[in-house]
Each structure stands twice: as structure tokens, then as C-alpha cells.
Amino acid sequence: MAVLEDASVQYGDMYGTVALDWQQGSEIHDFAEECAGVDLKRYFPLALTMYVGVDSTSLEHFLGLTFYVADKSVVGESGDAICRYATEHDGKIPTERFEGKATLEQFNKYVKRFEIVLRPRWREITTIEYESM
């Protein structure tokens, strides 16, 4: 079984972290349903990977999406139940993957704030200092 890993790209010129706030707090569910056809009666979306792509025909940019969803009949119906399941199973949650695409308009419909912080790949640099304003 594969495990969801940190983001990576072909050359790894930069690496970093990402943070996201949904518009109302739980839009991952609606986003997964709209963009990847996830059946929310059966599945609970837990994780998401995204990449920016270009359609080879239209040359339009899109977000490629992979949603990692848990079967509610296995892990429970709520966040609390899923956390209990994880506690009882060494932090591991079995998931299924659903692939999808989103436009920038769809992304903005569900996401309130999105921040990416990137650093050079050189591991010798451990801290980036700057003058605060």
C-alpha cells in the first residue's frame, strides 16, 4: 500500500510548505464532489493533492486534483469517529483516490486563503532572515 508523501517535482529546485483555509470550513467535501465526482454519502474527503497543468488542446490552465477519501462504513461518519479510528490503528487511515480537475473559478469558490512558502533546495540554508517592516 502506498503512503501520501510530501510534494515533489522533477528537479526539486525549491521546496516548502502550503496552507489553505476553506471559505466556510468544510468545502473540501463540496470541492471533491463537484470536481472529482466523490459520493459524499459514502466517502469522507481527508486529503488533497493539486498541481497546475495546461490542457494540450485548449492551452487553458487547470488544477489537477487528487482527493484521498475514507469509506465512512469503515472509518466512521464524522471527524471525531475518524480520529478515534486513527488512534486505534496507529494513526493510519485507509483511503481511496479520486482524480479530477478544477478551474481557477472553482478553486476560488471554495478556497478563502492559500499560501505557498518556497525555499531553495540547498539544505545548507536552514533559516531565511529578513528585516521586518
Q: Is 90 exceeded by the pLDDT of residue 15?
A: no
| Cell numbers 486513527: residue | 86
Helices (H) and strands (E) in the chain, counts: 4, 5
Question: What's the CA gap between 119 and 52, in Å, rounded?
Answer: 19
pLDDT in tens, 40-68: 999 999 999 999 888 889 888 889 999 99
Q: Select the more confidently predicted residue: 94 or 126.
A: 94
Q: What is the pLDDT of residue 68?
A: 96
pLDDT in tens, 81-95: 999 999 999 999 999
**In this structure, what DSSP letter does residue 24 have?**
S
Q: What is the pLDDT of residue 34?
A: 96
